[in-house]
Structure 1
Amino acid sequence: MAAPHRPSWKTAWRSFYYAGAPEAPDPVLVKGKVALLVIDVQNTYLARPEDRSALPPLERAREAAWDGFHERMHGIVIPTIARLIERFRAGAGPVMFARIACLTPDGADRSLSQKKPGWNNLFLPHDSEASQVVPALAPRPGEVVVTKTTDSALTGTNLRLIFTNMGITHVVCTGIFTDQCVSSTVRSLADESFDVIVIEDACAAGTMELHTRELEIINRIYCEVMRAEDLLGYLPA
């Protein structure tokens, strides 16, 4: 008799610490107690120059380095999140969103990490087009959208209280960037004793190397990492 099929996620994305650990247990997801959280899939991160050839050589090379990210976002991540949103809206649980946006006109309310020079120097007024969730995943009226000026969606927002008030015990995390805001949110949720699931094909980092490495770091200790197809088999009807 053939051995029963075991989902590969149970032993995948293992770090040094969990190389010999037992298989992850099946999650028990109860209707009304599991929520989908979409993190920072905003217009600013999907914007690209209309004419890359007009850029100076260094900027052109830097832009080209992001090709893999954009291909993954449009080809895998956004369609996967859209599929999960549809399933949750059909009754599996609430859909919630977190986005980076400052509330003051000059961005004075931003955290230090969003003021430092470099790629993370983010100035995204809350009512700007750049700060909005991408149209393909746009929140519906009545769905919770928290605005943050930090990496973690729990820091400086009332999201933890919202989850607690709604009786949420399990949070399914998706979005960008795996190694930054997704990871920070996952760690915060775990510290607050929520059960967290990260969907591998619903997240992205600047490179696949960064994406995969971060999943290995947070898997098992802060969350369980699986793919959307795995999760769909556990969601309540």
Structure 2
Amino acid sequence: MVDGRDRTALIVIDMINTYGHDDADLLVPSVAKTIPALSRLLERARSAEAPVIYVNDNFGEWRSHHGELLDQALAGPHADLVEPVRPDDKSLFVVKVRHSIFYETPLTYLLAQQDIGHVVLCGQVTEQCVLYSALDAHIRHLRVTIPEDAVAHIHADLADAALRMMRRNMDADIRPADEITF
């Protein structure tokens, strides 16, 4: 709990994606493996009426809003990876431009307004955006949980190291998605 904030939010990182980048061939198989666990996690969070916040790259499209990003991803060749985890009408959406979900975004303010002291970070990429976001959550005194089967990676060895770092250095709770409650 942070300053009396005791709510938990599920934060979905970079899952609205066209996979039109250099590492996509390495990332897509890992994303496909995470979809079932991530879908179950989303369903439980929504059933518990926990805040679900999508924080997503804008792909350099500075005129785009989240609806356009979603439409673009659903029209792409990997729509099957987006459709099962797409935002619903109650989901919140924050656009980011760098690795951390906190860097120059309104997320810290949003979490405070929602009385959130615990974040469950899922999505992609474990060894990049998830790792940096976990660190930034930790230094903001938020409790951090990472569902190890609901985060995708480009390089498995780096993802394993990132999960160990999050557990050891950020006191993150690393566990299977089905063990997380809201």
Instruction: Give TM-score, length-normalised by structure 2.
Output: 0.81
Alpha-carbon RMSD: 2.7
CA distance in 2 between counterparts of 1:198 and 1:33 reads: 16
Q: 2:73, 2:82 within 8 Å by CA — same for their partners in 1?
A: no
Aligned residues, how many?
A: 167
- Which of 113, 127, 142 is the aligned partner of 1:179? 127
Q: 2:117, 2:142 within 8 Å by CA — same for their partners in 1?
A: yes
Residues 13-72 of structure 1, C-alpha deviation per residue, up to 9 Å, x if partnerless? xxxxxxxxxxxxxx9xxxx70110000013322x69xxxxxxxxxx9xx876x2xx4333
- Which of 73, 96, 100 is the aligned partner of 2:57? 100
Shift in Å, 1:209: 1.1
Is 2:35 the partner of 1:87?
no
Q: 2:38, 2:85 within 8 Å by CA — same for their partners in 1?
A: yes
Q: Which residue is equivalent to 1:211?
A: 159
Unaligned runs of 5+ in 1: 1-26, 49-58, 106-124
CA distance in 1 between counterparts of 2:175 and 2:108 reads: 23
Q: Which residue is equivalent to 1:70?
A: 28
CA distance in 2 between counterparts of 1:220 and 1:88 reads: 26
Q: Secondary structure at the match of 1:201?
A: coil
One-letter identity of the residue aligned with 1:37:
I
* Matches for 1:143-158 after TM superposition, within 5 Å: 143-158=91-106
Q: 2:127, 2:159 within 8 Å by CA — same for their partners in 1?
A: yes
Q: Which residue is equivalent to 1:230?
A: 179
Q: Secondary structure at the match of 1:175?
A: strand
Unaligned runs of 5+ in 2: 76-80
Instruction: Give TM-score, length-normalised by structure 1.
Output: 0.63
* Matches for 1:1-237 after TM superposition, within 5 Å: 33-45=7-19, 66=26, 69-74=27-32, 76-91=33-48, 93-101=50-58, 102-104=60-62, 126=65, 127-128=68-69, 129-130=72-73, 134-222=82-170, 223-231=172-180, 235-236=181-182
Shift in Å, 1:212: 0.6
Determine which structure has the larger helix proportion and give its number. 2
Shift in Å, 1:185: 0.8
Q: 1:34, 1:92 within 8 Å by CA — same for their partners in 2?
A: no
Distance 1:72 1:191, change over 3 A: same
Ranked by relative contact order (alpha carbons within 8 Å, sequence separation 6 or more), the top structure is 2
